[in-house]
Amino acid sequence: MKLYVDHQCTSPFAMCAFVALKECRFDFDLHYLDLSQGDHQRPPFTGISLTHRVPTLVDGAFSLAESSAIAEYLNDIAPGARLLPVDVQARAQARQVQAWLRSDFFNLRGNRPTETIFIAPSQEPLGPLAMADARRLVETLSRSLRDGKRFLFNDWSIADVDAAGMLNRLIYNGDPVPETLKHYALRAWDRESVHQWLDLDRQDNRTSSGR
């Protein structure tokens, strides 16, 4: 398999796909695209990825973009995979959380891009609109984790990686987050697969083994 990601490895969606591959124990090669130079808009990538976006997974003659679709595909083909809840309703709710995190919080993302997690924290305070996003995030996740739940759906899932990633935009920058959510974010990212993503060299990457 091959996984195409941004060359600085700061995309939370690329991280999701990388973690999914690691959790499913697939061997794969990482291929890096410099989005600022338009690598994703030129061949050969335009002939590989339908949407010309990262992450894109290549499995033989098959290719797939969009991280949640990649995670679901890997969960279906990996024996014994547990990226998503087994229960049908819990799985649907996990996909709901993933879609919500990908389609909301634009002001928070603008004030706290993932470069502030993976490269260096921001020195700027949260703006009022980003603060409103942060409040909604904290309120919703606090409600989802009530009654002492360790993870959103009792057992760890890829949705926890995504949710913790959004929280870490605040936590890594010293913004106020309840202690319960700080502990949750630590648990969600306390996986060898996540540690391997965090340890990637974020210099002038091109191709490396994901084994």
Positions in the chain whose pLDDT score sits under 50: 206-211
Query: What SS3 class is residue 172?
Result: coil
Q: What is the pLDDT of residue 107?
A: 98
Indicate the number of domains in the chain: 2
| 149 and 110 together in one domain | yes
User: pLDDT, tens digit, for every residue of 125-148?
Assistant: 999 999 999 999 999 999 999 988
Instruction: Identify whether residues 10 and 92 lie together within a single domain.
Output: no
| Alpha helices (H) in 64-191, listed in sequence order | 67-77, 88-103, 106-111, 115-118, 128-144, 158-171, 179-188
The reply to whether 139 and 184 lie within a common domain is: yes
Backbone φ and ψ of 210, nearest 5°: -95, 15
CATH number at residue 32: 3.40.30.10
Would the CA dihedral through 193, 197, 199, 205 be positive or negative? positive
Same domain, 138 and 52: no
Q: Is 59 found in the same domain as 139?
A: no
pLDDT at 202: 76
pLDDT at 116: 97
Please tell me whether residues 95 and 187 are part of one structural domain: yes
CATH number at residue 109: 1.20.1050.10
100 and 181 assigned to the same domain? yes
d(CA 65, CA 45): 12
Does residue 204 sit in the same domain as residue 150? Answer: no
Q: What's the pTM?
A: 0.93
Domain that holds residue 46: 2-81+193-209
> Is the separation of the CB atoms in 34 and 7 below 8 Å?
yes
What span, in angstroms and rounded, lies between the C-alpha atoms of 17 and 13?
Answer: 6
